[in-house]
Amino acid sequence: MSLQEFELRMMDLEQRLRPIADRPIDITKIGWGLRLKQSPHPLDEAGVRPEAETLLQELINVYRASGEDERETVRKLFEEYRAFAWAASLPFEPTTEENFRQHLLLFSIKDQGRDSRDAILLLQDLCQRAKAAGVNTASVLKDVATLSSDKNKFGMGSTTGMLLKAC
């Protein structure tokens, strides 16, 4: 499948997820955080979980097997289709080496998203959960770092650097 075909599928999912992603949240109301946690996952609310998870897995596989130009294109797709990138998640925990690798590949694809601070916290959480499950994280972090961007997008380091520092 070509990257253009992936983009068409992302565009369709983006249109269906955009209203959920753009919905305002009134953080001045008491209990807003609890209500947010109790609300359905955006993929379920939009009714797109199966196709979104299939597309995400296909994109991760392409990203993992491609050269730098193709990986950069995948990263740009995630930058352009914000609602899809925001909602895209893996249906498993990073508790095995391969599952941890999949989570890190998605982290690499999202390339810090819209905020380096959130990316750093996510990476710390992924590493803690993987280590708690007995996963040898260092080699996986190093492997995924070789596929990641060296661009310092927000002045807090590159995705490659973040992954290497997490070792």
Q: Which residue has the higher pLDDT, 153 or 25?
A: 153
pLDDT at 34: 81
Q: Which residue has the higher pLDDT, 36 or 82?
A: 82
Q: Which of 8, 76, 10 is nearest to 48 (CA)?
A: 10
112 — pLDDT class (breaks 50, 70, 90) = very high
Is pLDDT above 80 for 1? no
Q: Cite the DSSP H helix spans in 1-156.
A: 3-21, 32-38, 42-45, 49-65, 68-80, 82-87, 97-110, 116-132, 137-145
**DSSP conformation class of 97:** H
Q: Which residue has the higher pLDDT, 3 or 7?
A: 7
- Say what percent of the chain tops pLDDT 90: 87
